[in-house]
Amino acid sequence: MKGFSHFMSGVAVASFGPWAIDAALQGNPTFFILGGACGILPDTLDFKFYRFFYEHDVYVMPDPKDPDPQKIAEEVARAIQLGVDGKRYIRLKLGSVRLGADFWQQYQVTLDNEKKEVVCRLGPVVNTGQVPVDGTEKPGAVGRAPLPAPVVQTYDADLKVDIFDGPTVGFAPRGDGGFDLEFLPWHREWSHALTVGLFLGLLWAVVSCCFGAWTVAWQGLVTIAACYAVHVVEDQMGHMGSNLFWPFTKKRTEGLHWMHSGDGLPNFTAVWVSCILIFWNLSRSQPALEHPFPFWKLLLVALVVPYAGFFVLRLLLNRGRKAAVEAGDDADDEWNDMKSS
């Protein structure tokens, strides 16, 4: 999901702690701040810190003065060959090509298992808004190199590189001699683990105990662990999954494939449900409320009825239409969101 959705989910989970409500009524928003911060912390760790320290085996850095698609294709093929020769995991970095203050050379790499070749095509020059510049298309600029081994992909067949930083891909050996291609292997590697949230909560508790704040210690532990966990659980509803119990597990557990991280409706629903839960938790903490109402009625009025009306209206407006919607992989969505922000 998008960062704001995770933030609101963290705040909503924090609002379930009676201590968070009591502290807020006394002018202390610490637990709500902890909830929102821990809700977005896993992605922050990955995109703002860890990716800059991630080690790569092969760097593909095209020359801005003369970006050669043939050299790019050959370097990608060489990276896969290193994995074949060493029977090991290979991390490949595809560097971006900056041509000026606001211009970037776009290129894409395709791993064609049928033709057994790596194909690199130079695209148009784009600005920082990823809008192509007219007249810069290069339809004949194509490089090809033999593909050393089959590569199984779980998302788009093309690796597109344009603005700011280029992506990292990992080639994981398979038992049949081929490789699984992992997009952004540094993402959700260790940061998206339930154990990391628990560790941060314990760290908070230890520091709090050092100052004699025993009650704040366990309250903060529960808040941090729960709000961190809700981010991991939400991401697990997508495709990419997370490494849930690092360091005891080494690989990401595949997601449930219920949604993509960039899908509009699930993100809106997460934010809206979070607002409902925050409202409910705040209102039920006020015993003197003149018009109390049960939780089921709140859900009916604020969630069930509006969504039922929305889906009926959507069905009527789209009756007889067939719309093909293309959605990328979770990591692809998040990578594009990170660049655009």
Residue 116: inside a domain, yes or no?
A: yes
Give CB contacts under 8 A, 24+ apart, made by 81-87. 81/148, 82/57, 82/58, 83/149, 83/171, 83/173, 83/179, 84/148, 84/149, 84/177, 87/173
- Residue 280: CA atoms inside 13 Å, Cβ hemisphere, count? 20
Give yes or no: residues 252 and 288 share one domain: yes
User: Residue 79's pLDDT band (boundaries 50, 70, 90)?
Assistant: very high
Q: Are residues 239 and 145 in the same domain?
A: no
- Among 128, 148, 183, identify where a domain stops: 183
Give the pLDDT score at 30: 94
Tally of domains in the chain = 2
Q: Region 319-329: what's the mean pLDDT?
A: 61
Task: Using pLDDT thresholds of 50, 70 and 90, give the confidence band for residue 147.
Answer: very high
Integer Cα distance of 19 and 41 in angstroms: 22
Residue type, 146: P
Give the model's pLDDT for residue 259. Answer: 87
Q: Are residues 249 and 156 in the same domain?
A: no
Q: Is residue 320 part of a domain?
A: no
Domain assignment of residue 321, yes or no = no
Q: What is the pTM of this model?
A: 0.87
Residues 175 and 275 occupy one common structural domain: no
Q: Is residue 324 part of a domain?
A: no
Asked if residue 77 is part of any domain, the answer here is yes
**154 pLDDT more than 80:** no
Angle at 227 between CA 45 and CA 296, to 5 degrees: 145
CA angle 313, 314, 319 (to 5 degrees): 100
**Domain identity same for 195 and 311:** yes
Please state, in angstroms and rounded to a whole number, the distance separating the CA atoms of residues 106 and 334: 19
pLDDT band (50, 70, 90) for residue 105: very high
CA gap 47, 50 in Å, rounded: 7
pLDDT tens per residue across span 264-286: 889 999 999 999 999 999 888 87
65 and 174 assigned to the same domain: yes
Residues 135 and 240 in one domain: no
Say how far apart CA 77 and CA 144 lie, in whole Å: 9
Residues 63 and 100 in one domain: yes
| In contact, 115 and 144? CB cutoff 8 Å | no
Q: Which of 183, 210, 226 is the last residue of a domain?
A: 183
Look at residue 238 and tell me if it is in a domain.
yes
184-209 pLDDT, tens digit per residue, is 999 999 999 999 999 999 999 999 99
> What's the confidence (pLDDT) of residue 213?
92
- Is residue 260 over pLDDT 70? yes
Average the pLDDT over 133-143 and give the result.
Answer: 90
Residue 323 lies in a domain: no
Q: Which domain does 41 fall in, by range?
A: 3-50+191-315+329-340
In the prediction, which pLDDT does 69 show? 95
Name the residue type at position 238.
G
Q: How many alpha carbons lie under 13 Å from residue 3 in its C-beta half-sphere?
A: 17
**Distances, alpha carbon 112 to alpha carbons 77, 143, 150, 171, 174, in Å:** 11, 13, 9, 15, 18
Q: Tell me: do 334 and 217 sit in the same domain.
A: yes
Residue 88 domain flag: yes
Which of the listed residues 135, 157, 183 is the one where a domain comes to its end?
183
- Residues 7 and 75 both lie in one domain: no
Report the alpha-carbon distance of residue 27 to residue 52 in Å, rounded.
Answer: 38
Q: Looking at residues 74-86, what average pLDDT do you find?
A: 96
pLDDT digits (tens, 9 = 90+) for 281-291: 988 887 766 66
For residues 129-137, average pLDDT: 91
Could you tell me the maximum CA-CA distance found in the chain, to the nearest angstrom?
Answer: 75
Query: What pLDDT shows up at residue 155?
Result: 64
Q: Are residues 216 and 97 in the same domain?
A: no
pLDDT per residue as tens digits for the range 203-251: 999 999 999 999 999 999 999 999 999 999 999 998 888 999 999 998 8
Are residue 116 and residue 34 in the same domain, yes or no? no
Q: What is the reported pLDDT for 243?
A: 93
Rounded (10°) angle between helices 3-14 and 30-44:
150
| CA neighbours closer than 13 Å in the CB half-sphere of residue 251 | 8
| Angle value at C-alpha 101, between 96 and 105, nearest 5 degrees | 35
